[in-house]
A = this chain, B = another copy of it.
Amino acid sequence: MTELYGAIEAGGTKFAVAVGYKNGEILKRGTIKTTTPEDTMAQVFDFFDQYQDDIISFGIGSFGPIGVNEKLENYGYITDTPKVAWQNYNFIGDMKVHYDVPMLWTTDVNVAAYGEHILGAGQNFDNVFYTTIGTGVGSGVITRGEVYNGRAHPETGHLMMRRHPEDNFEGTCPFHKDCLEGLACGPAIEARWGEKAYDLNENHKAWEFEAYYLAQAALDFTLTFSPDIMIFGGGVSKQEHLMDMIRDEFAKMMNGYITLPDLKDYIVPVSLGDDAGIIGSLLLAEKVAR
């Protein structure tokens, strides 16, 4: 019998699924559209059922908010998501009905952070802070080599921001208007400038604002979690010129208060790209199987 690990990266628009071996090595992968739990999960079960006898554990990273605290009743659930069909869906309960093996359940950003921690930019560090900037903004955190959760999981997209002095855009967050996500996510950039982020050229004012907000977020994360490395992923961070702009703003804001590694080694882009999440899920399955 071959021992296999199961991995699910449950995103708001699509699920990535995979089975594989140790060290994040993928045997087979698939993509499933996120529609309703009934429909999407039926396909998830179809995928894994082929390997049912060999899968010894699962690593699952889900869009949120999700219940991650085993002491609370909502553990294993997707909770009050704006995706109505998925509200209060008992993800782990449903998985356990099908597969009676250990499961590591955490956020989609935490699995990506773990992937980067083991095989990516964060592989030499115990404390890895990963932030994705795309349709939304969220962070995954590894502390002392473990996926971080408190009472709930981090929700860094909603940090209160000091505004860039020239930025009058009201913000897109339905809860807070001009929190980090409301000012800096992809849809906020598009709403502010009337063009998608990837259509804006390198010298566009948009990037000055973006760097200002992401540097401010990096500052706050440094002052709270004190990670060894600060990794940015997601669609918006694919702009290569943006990293240096963030580093420059960050240095100005920090003003030498904390001694840090060279910022080129501290504020970095994701190194596993879009695979960080599914590889991280596989690695977490391996970890929970031990």
Residues of chain A touching chain B, judged by Cβ–Cβ distance below 8 Å, are: 65, 71, 79-80, 126-127, 139, 143, 148-156, 158-163, 175-176, 216, 219-221, 223-228, 253, 255-259
Contact = CB atoms under 8 A, between A and B. Distances in A.
B143 A253 contact: no
Nearest to A259: B80
Name the 4 nearest CB pairs between A and B, nearest first: A150-B226, A127-B150, A175-B257, A152-B226
Nearest to A157: B223
A158 B225 contact: no
Nearest to A173: B257
Nearest to A253: B160
B228 A160 contact: no
Contacts of A223: 154-156, 158-159
Given A154-B225, A159-B224, A162-B162, 20 more contacts: A65-B258, A139-B224, A143-B143, A143-B150, A150-B225, A150-B228, A153-B226, A154-B224, A155-B223, A155-B226, A159-B219, A160-B216, A161-B162, A175-B256, A176-B253, A220-B220, A220-B224, A221-B224, A224-B224, A225-B225
29 contacts: A71-B126, A127-B151, A143-B143, A143-B150, A149-B226, A150-B225, A150-B226, A150-B227, A151-B226, A152-B258, A154-B223, A154-B226, A155-B226, A155-B257, A155-B258, A156-B223, A159-B223, A160-B162, A160-B220, A161-B162, A162-B163, A175-B255, A175-B256, A175-B257, A176-B255, A220-B220, A224-B224, A224-B225, A225-B225
A60 B253 CA distance: 32
Contact of A151 (B79, B158, B219, B228): B228
Contacts of A257: 155, 158, 175-176
What DSSP secondary structure best describes chain A's contact surface? loop
Given A143-B148, A161-B162, A256-B175, A224 B156 contact: yes
Contacts of A224: 139, 154, 156, 159, 220-221, 224-225
Contacts of A221: 224
Contact of A160 (B79, B151, B219, B226): B219
Contacts of A79: 259
A139 B220 CA distance: 13
Most chain B CB neighbours (cut-off 10 Å) among A80, A151, A258? A151
Contacts of A158: 223, 257
A267 to B, nearest CB: 14
A158 B80 CA distance: 33
Nearest to A155: B223
Contacts of A155: 223, 226, 257-258
